Structure 1
């Protein structure tokens, strides 16, 4: 998989960051969701899947051109 940097809402080079893949998907870098209450609400979680939390402002970089 190849990644293309789209943008970040961080001023100091830390997360969160958004990438586009060559597979028509996105990869997000953010804080791992560890809250047990939030994790209990997730559906159909497959082995190997994880979840990250990002600010809504990061999605502006995902707009289709």
Structure 2
């Protein structure tokens, strides 16, 4: 299973996170971001035990294929 990196946050201080990947075999996205640990925020969601929540900046939406322009660089 090969993941395709669609983009990473150009404003990340470390230059490596958050990042959005595409798993073409499963036709799904994998999102790397900051783990949400704020009890108040988590309490507003219905999260099953086998799932977790990560946070990414709104500017990262540009990397999802449904939003991204076809001719853009894949590793922005």
TM-score (norm 2): 0.72
Question: Is the radius of gyration larger for structure 1 or structure 2?
Answer: 2
Specify the alignment match of 1:17 in structure 2.
19
Specify the alignment match of 1:30 in structure 2.
33
Question: Do residues 41 (structure 1) and 44 (structure 2) align?
Answer: yes
* Structure 1 unmatched runs, 5+: none
TM-score (norm 1): 0.82
Number of residue pairs the alignment of both structures matches: 64
Name the Cα RMSD after superposition. Answer: 1.7
* Structure 2 unmatched runs, 5+: 71-76
